[in-house]
Structure 1
Amino acid sequence: MPYLFLGASLGLSAGLSPGPLMTLVITTSLRDGFWQGLRVAIAPFLTDLPIILVSLFVLKLLPNWSLTLLGVAGSLYVVYLGWETIRAARHASLEQLRASEQSSDNLSRQSLSRGALVNLLNPHPYIFWATVGGPTLLAALDQGAAYAAAFLVGFYALLVGSKIGIAALIHSQSRTLSTAWYQRILAALGILLIALGIWLLYQVLTGATQLT
């Protein structure tokens, strides 16, 4: 099916692209282990349905300032996550990482909720579904529900699957890291998150009129 291939291609591209959710997957996998990174990676399953609905039926009707406000909130939250990651890096240790493999349910919920919040506040999914995903999905629906389902299955299988693969790769490599390098990587990821947040904020403030 062409729509299955199209969805898979778009999903893989989005899944491997640098961004707030990808960086949070890597950071969480390093800090808290693979299973917590996986919980962040599956966040699109929880958040994208309302994002798709909003993008298809509401987003075009909203004034520019609404998406601008959402983008500003998301950008500032990403900056906050970066600052928090840098703070945690100062006292991080591989012993804590390995001990967290047997983490509590509270940590599991925290990882999942963080991933969901980052994805929900990130303007990129809204832009994607308003400009690319939405029109493609509607075109697939015109040919039949099976075509639309194929597009969605292909997209999310590769979007989430690629992030889970990254979480597994990062976690497996963490076994060969020294504590010093572990702290440096966390600090670098924190800086990257802050840079991404600032970049997103710049995009929102300079290009808000193009997002709706």
Structure 2
Amino acid sequence: MVAIIELIQALILGFTVGISAALIPGPMMIATIGISMRKGWRTGPLVFIGHAMVETVIFLLILAGAVSFLGNSAMSYISVLGGIIMALFGIMLIKSAKKISVMDISASSAKKELPSSPVSAGILTSALNPTFVAWWLTAGSAIILQEYFLGVFAVLAFILGHWIADLGFLVAVSSSSSRGKELFSQSTHEKVMYVCGAFMLLFGLWFLFNYDNVSAFV
């Protein structure tokens, strides 16, 4: 039985990973901003539904396709690869924090042709985003499998934390966009990205130097 503290840790990890990824402007954020200007704050929850549908399929594929044949060696390789990806992702967040914080995302969304359905936008901007898919096939799968070997409830806690971050962020984006306001000030956005980047870098390094502990769950 997974200890309560481990469930809380998985929940916090899921939330932090979700926020770290959400802060980087991408197709889903741009689509949410653009559609929100026409359809209001309800765009956020609907985009999230489409996004969560794609992630659910990915989660199931990771678990169903990997757990049945993973051994210590395979899990170690996944942990090392995942650690490298997370560390690089953290460095990228830190290096690009200032640049991203001053981007005019609203202007970018106005130039793109966006799906009329928010749910479709959530599905398409997730499934067709190579960065999103590559993340879950490497670092994301390492985290999911680590939580799986702690127990199913740890996986669910991680996913719940991740989805709370996604939903909360998308609702905040759609609400602020529909009112013509910025979600964060530039300085706040920059500081949050520095914090998230540092977290991802440290967690990636933990995976790299503790892969033997991770594989011990197998």
Same fold by TM-score greater than 0.5: yes
Aligned pair count reads 182
Structure 1 residues 51 and 44: alpha-carbon distance in aligned structure 2, compared to 1, 3 A threshold: same
The match for 2:3 is none
Contact 2:11 2:161 (C-alpha < 8 Å) held by counterparts: yes
The match for 1:203 is 206
Q: Deviations over 1:147-166 (max 9, x none)?
A: xxxxx9x8899567534521
Task: Give the TM-score of the pair, scaled to structure 1.
Answer: 0.60
Q: Does residue 1:75 correspond to 2:78, yes or no? A: no
Structure 1 residues 102 and 163: alpha-carbon distance in aligned structure 2, compared to 1, 3 A threshold: farther
**Higher helix fraction: Structure 1 or Structure 2?**
1
Structure 1 residues 86 and 49: alpha-carbon distance in aligned structure 2, compared to 1, 3 A threshold: farther
| Alpha-carbon distance between aligned partners in 1 of 2:200 and 2:159, rounded to the nearest angstrom | 27
Write out aligned runs for 1:1-212 (5 A). Answer: 14=11, 17-28=14-25, 32-34=30-32, 38=48, 41-63=52-74, 65-79=76-90, 81-82=92-93, 83-90=95-102, 92-93=103-104, 95-96=106-107, 99=110, 102-103=113-114, 108=125, 112-120=129-137, 121-122=139-140, 123-133=142-152, 162-171=164-173, 172-173=175-176, 175=179, 177-178=181-182, 181-212=184-215
Structure 1 residues 206 and 118: alpha-carbon distance in aligned structure 2, compared to 1, 3 A threshold: same
Calculate the aligned-residue CA RMSD, in Å.
4.3
Contact 2:15 2:164 (C-alpha < 8 Å) held by counterparts: no
User: C-alpha displacement at 1:126, in angstroms?
Assistant: 1.4
| Alpha-carbon distance between aligned partners in 2 of 1:22 and 1:61, rounded to the nearest angstrom | 31
Contact 1:46 1:116 (C-alpha < 8 Å) held by counterparts: no
Task: Give the TM-score of the pair, scaled to structure 2.
Answer: 0.59
Structure 1 residues 48 and 17: alpha-carbon distance in aligned structure 2, compared to 1, 3 A threshold: closer
SS at match of 1:21: helix
Question: Is the deviation greater in 32-41 or in 201-210?
Answer: 32-41
